[in-house]
């Protein structure tokens, strides 16, 4: 049966569907369609995990149009036989009442200890195999070149409360550069005001326009250091080495998913992990002598 999944949200919320989608593909599902925010859906489409993507606006304004196009393409012989799964609690006003929609919470209950990836998979009826896979690895550039040992630092995040202070990223970057590592910062539109501050430290800054442009920057042996944010989730799902620095959010629920993903959380004496702790963990990942 064809499946239509509605999953709006930030980049991280969106790409964390990848393990569940990969499991559905492995189980033989070939007609999977996804509704959300177009740019954020692109990594999933480019990786071949979904058949087609649709904007949330189109779904909310014309659900019969979406189902009709699927029927015309042969993806849905009978719209009433399409499994509709929504992680969004609003339904289109014009959605035919005869269609059954399963509505799921967008995330597990706080304090449950359930990872959001497991929650999404269980909601869609699949169980994930461990160890964690890299379902977006197909997006990774495997060329071996002079940027293999590059360290990407992303000081941004979906909310200020999730951001390790910029000055700590700069201090960590300076120390790693002294170890002959190439360090580059990634900033989005929301962090554009930081470019001058970062550049004043002699550190290069990249500002990719969209998630696929970001993915094209990465190489297999790069290290990504960042906050609990969409770019970090994308990097981990592609199979990069990642170090995610947590503050108030719960890594049991939101730790990046990938075979080489690591994280640091504050201990009982601190609000945020220290630069020294971050440096020690980065050195372990990079095998820098102590």
**Phi/psi class of residue 11: alpha, beta or left (left: φ > 0; alpha: ψ in -120 to 50)?**
alpha
Q: Do 187 and 96 belong to one domain?
A: no
- Among residues 30, 41, 32, 37, which one has the least CA distance to residue 3? 32
User: Pick from 123, 145, 162: which residue ends a domain?
Assistant: 123
Q: Do 114 and 198 belong to one domain?
A: no
Q: Is residue 131 part of a domain?
A: no
Write down the pLDDT at residue 146.
62
Lookup result for tokens 């197909």: 138
Q: Do 30 and 107 belong to one domain?
A: yes
Write down the pLDDT at residue 149.
76
Mean pLDDT by 10 residues, the chain (290 residues): 92 98 94 95 97 94 83 62 90 86 95 94 90 88 70 92 96 94 93 93 95 94 96 97 96 95 94 96 82
User: Pick from 68, 91, 123: which residue ends a domain?
Assistant: 123
Please report, to the nearest 10 degrees, the dihedral formed by the alpha carbons of residues 281, 282, 285, 290 taken in order: -80
Write down the pLDDT at residue 145.
62
Distance, in Å, from the CA atom of 251 to the CA atom of 230, rounded to the nearest integer, reads 14
Q: Is residue 128 part of a domain?
A: no
Q: Which domain holds residue 204?
A: 137-286
Lookup result for tokens 């999933």: 44
Please calculate the CA angle 229-149-246 and round it to the nearest 5 degrees: 25
Write down the pLDDT at residue 74.
61
Q: Do 142 and 86 belong to one domain?
A: no
Q: Do 176 and 247 belong to one domain?
A: yes
Any residues with CB less than 8 A from the CB of 284 and at least 6 apart, and which? none
């Amino acid at each position: 049966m064809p499946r239509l999944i509605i999953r709006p949200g930030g980049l991280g919320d969106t790409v964390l569907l990848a393990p569940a989608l990969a499991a559905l593909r492995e189980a033989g599902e070939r007609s999977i369609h996804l509704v959300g925010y177009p740019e954020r859906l692109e990594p999933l489409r480019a990786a071949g995990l979904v058949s087609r993507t649709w904007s949330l606006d189109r779904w909310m304004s014309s659900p019969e149009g979406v189902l009709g196009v699927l029927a015309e393409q042969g993806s849905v012989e009978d719209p009433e036989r399409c499994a509709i799964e929504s992680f969004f609690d609003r339904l289109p006003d014009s959605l035919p009442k005869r269609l059954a929609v399963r509505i799921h919470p967008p995330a597990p209950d706080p304090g449950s200890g359930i990872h959001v990836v497991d929650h999404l998979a269980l909601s869609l009826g699949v169980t994930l195999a461990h160890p964690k896979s890299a379902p977006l690895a197909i997006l990774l550039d495997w060329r071996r070149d002079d940027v293999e040992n590059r360290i990407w630092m992303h000081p941004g995040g979906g909310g200020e409360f999730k951001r390790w202070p910029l000055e700590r990223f700069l201090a960590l970057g300076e120390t790693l550069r002294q170890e002959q590592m190439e360090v580059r910062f990634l900033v989005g539109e929301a962090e554009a005001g930081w470019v001058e501050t970062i550049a004043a430290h002699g550190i290069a800054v990249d500002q990719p326009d969209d998630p696929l442009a970001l993915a094209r920057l990465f190489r297999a042996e790069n290290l990504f250091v960042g906050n609990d944010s969409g770019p970090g989730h994308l990097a981990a799902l592609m199979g990069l080495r990642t170090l995610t620095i947590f503050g108030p959010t719960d890594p049991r629920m939101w730790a990046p998913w990938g075979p080489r993903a690591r994280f640091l959380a504050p201990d009982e004496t601190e609000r945020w992990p220290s630069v020294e702790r971050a440096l020690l963990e980065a050195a372990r990942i990079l095998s820098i002598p102590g």
